Chain A
Amino acid sequence: MLKRISLIVLLTLTALCYLAPVALMIIGSLKPDARVLAEAGSWLAFVPEGATLDNYRDVFARVPFERYLLSSLWINAAIVLLGLLVNSFAGYALARLRWPGRKAVLAVVIALLVIPFEAIAVPLFYQLSALGWRDDHAVQIIPFVANPLAIYLFYSFFLALPRELEEAARIDGAGVLRTFFTVIVPNSKPVFATVAIVTLLFYWGIYLWPLLMTTGDHARPLPLAIAMFHTLPPLQWGDIFAFGAMMVVPVLVLFVVLQRWFVRGVATAGIRE
């Protein structure tokens, strides 16, 4: 019993440590700018006394926040949705269809897992610059649709699905595509949710690529925008906190909605019976 209580206390404290910065950001975003820094070193930082939305109004007045948000939403929605389609197709082809070179492609996909994006960012930048392609939404979407991690997650999930399901569907009269959409997809919700969340979490915060590729406001996503906003005088921490809070909330909501599937997906990816 004592062991249980001390464990709960320990876990609560750990959770508080992780939650504190988020709480600080949200509470700070509601305070007049002058108090944000003044109270930063004390417990008062967590007291939202005299809450106001002034900072939020400020953000919209100083920069075209809605444009950054729309850019981010558009880029991420496209990466996630196109990615689910393309990567699940690829994972299915690798797991189930028989074609020459399948094993080699699978080896390449697995090898690509270990290459960080930063390593290929500069060559990719030169390549696309040479083509004269930059500073729009598509250039922030297309390079990220196919994703080795997503392919691998789909591959290992599909591999564990009972093969008889597909065979039954084929005998019942469904072709490969119909089998995929009517039988495989509905039974693979956990892996689709997992891939969607993992992809979104990664690309919602991507900074380096838009920094390389965008020059103006019109295709600039939130992570780059907040960095620019930070350097935009006058330095007002309340405004920056408000910006950050607005940036985090959409992902947080989506995560809560999908987390039931996400947890199951992580638990079952690759280790199903």
Chain B
Amino acid sequence: MREEAIRVWAFALRNLLMASRNIFFLFELTFWPMVGVLSIGLMTRFLRLSPDEASFVLIGTMALSTVQVCQLDVSYAVLYDVWSKSMKHQFLAPIAVRHLTVGSWLVGMARGLVVFTLLAALAWWAFGFNPLATGPGRLALFLLGCFLTAWIVGVLVCALVMLFGTRAEASAWAAVNLVLVLAGIYYPISVLPGPVAGIAQAIPLTYFLDMFRSHFGFASEFATPLAWGFGLSAAYIGFSHWALGAAINRTRRTGLLLRMSE
């Protein structure tokens, strides 16, 4: 158990050190999320949306940034090694997929929390929207839902990178946007066309957004959103980790693991 924790901590600390030494990561954490909240918030004023409607859209914007920052950290678990061509060293060590993903997810959650706090303060100051009004329990569940979604997407991105190498790098930035569009980031999923709405119902974040927004005056579209959200998350976490494990095994078969280290 102790060794498990040490290996997880190894990846967490590595991500933390890398993030602390790169100015780009600071932009990732502050600039883009704040620009997002400011521009969307100003748009809600221009369109004269009601406070409830404005909060609906702002929750989506904040979720987008929180999930994105956390997911990127999970994806960096593999991307750092691809970029530095050091992939083979970590897979030469007796590690499992869970050490890699949990370690980077812990840092992702910490960074996601920083982003959410910044955006909440900004939204409250600039637009009078207080996401803390739901109470700590509901907020914590919403954030946990965001982080779980980020974990799943991040691990799937890692699997894609292991399968296709640097060609799949773009998925680290693209995948989460697709998921958020489907999960009803700025709209209820009932406005999506039939089959797409069906896909949206298979995304855990859909349910966590629904649960959180129900506190701001929007009737919930689902009877038990939390049960669905956590149930789907558990299934996808299992699947994504299996997929990453299978992708790593494939790289050992095809030699991609070595080619990514040259």
Partners in one complex: no
Name A's B-contacting residues (CB within 8 A).
none
Name B's A-contacting residues (CB within 8 A).
none
